[in-house]
Amino acid sequence: MPLRFGLVTVLLVFGGLLPQAATAQEDPQDVDRVMGLVHFLLEKEHISGKKVDDTVSRVAMQAYIRALDPMKLYFEQDDLDAVAKFEDKLDDMIQQGDLRFARLLFTRFVKRLELRVMQLEKILEMEHDWTVQESFVTEPDDTTWAKSPEDAAERWRKRVKYDLLRLKADDVVGDEAKEQLRKRFKNFLRRMKQFDDEEILSAFLAAITSAYDPHTRYIGAKPFEDLQIRMRLNYQGIGAHLQDQDGVVVITDIIPGGAAAKYGQLKDGDRILGVGQGESGDIVDIAGMKLSDVVKLIRGEEGTLVRLQIRQKGGKEVKIHDMMRARIELRDESAIGEVMEIDGSRIGIIDLPSFYRDTDAEAKGDPDFRSSTRDVAKYLEGFKKQKIDAVVLDLRYNGGGLLSEAIELTGLFIDTGPVVQIKDGNDKVRSRDDKDAGMLWSGPIVILTSRFSASASEILAGAIQDYGRGIVVGDPSTHGKGTVQHVIDLGRIVTRKGKPPALGGLKLTLQKFYRASGDSTQLKGVHPDIVLPALSSLVDGEAELPQALSFDQIPALPHDQYGHTKPNIVNPVREASGKRIAASEPFTKIKKDVERFRKLRKLSEIPLEEAAFSVLMDDQEESEQATEEANKSADGLRQIKRDDYLEEVLRIANDYARSMKNSA
pLDDT at 41: 96
pLDDT at 9: 27
Burial letters for 334-352: b for 16+ Cβ neighbours within 10 Å, e otherwise? bbbbeebeeeebbbbbbbb
Establish whether 455 is a catalytic residue: yes
pLDDT at 233: 55
Burial letters for 215-235: b for 16+ Cβ neighbours within 10 Å, e otherwise? bbbbbbbbbbbbbbbbbbbbb
Please identify which of the residues 178, 481, 507, 512 carries the catalytic annotation: 481
- 392 contacts 337 by C-beta, under 8 angstroms: no
- 472 contacts 529 by C-beta, under 8 angstroms: yes
Domains (ranges, CATH) in the chain?
Answer: 51-211 (no CATH), 235-329 (2.30.42.10), 331-482+511-583+634-663 (3.90.226.10)
Please identify which of the residues 433, 466, 489, 519 carries the catalytic annotation: 466
pLDDT at 622: 59
Nearest to 522 by CA among 555, 479, 482, 554: 482
Nearest to 214 by CA among 385, 455, 457: 455
pLDDT at 332: 60
**pLDDT beneath 70: ranges in the chain:** 1-29, 228-237, 246-247, 256-257, 328-332, 619-637
310: which strand partners? 272, 319
Residues 6+ apart with CB under 8 A from 416: 433, 434, 435, 436, 437
Checking 258-265 for CB contacts under 8 A at 24+ apart, the result is 258/326, 258/328, 259/323, 259/324, 259/325, 259/326, 259/328, 260/323, 262/326, 263/238, 263/321, 263/323, 265/321
Please identify which of the residues 455, 457, 520, 536 carries the catalytic annotation: 455
Burial letters for 256-292: b for 16+ Cβ neighbours within 10 Å, e otherwise? bbbbbbebeebeeebbbbbbbbeeeeeebebeebbbb
- 320 contacts 308 by C-beta, under 8 angstroms: yes
What 3-state DSSP class applies to 218? strand
pLDDT at 600: 79
pTM of the model: 0.78
- Compute the distance between CA of residue 338 and CA of residue 336 in angstroms, rounded to an integer: 7
Nearest to 441 by CA among 388, 369, 496, 513: 388
- Compute the distance between CA of residue 49 and CA of residue 407 in angstroms, rounded to an integer: 28
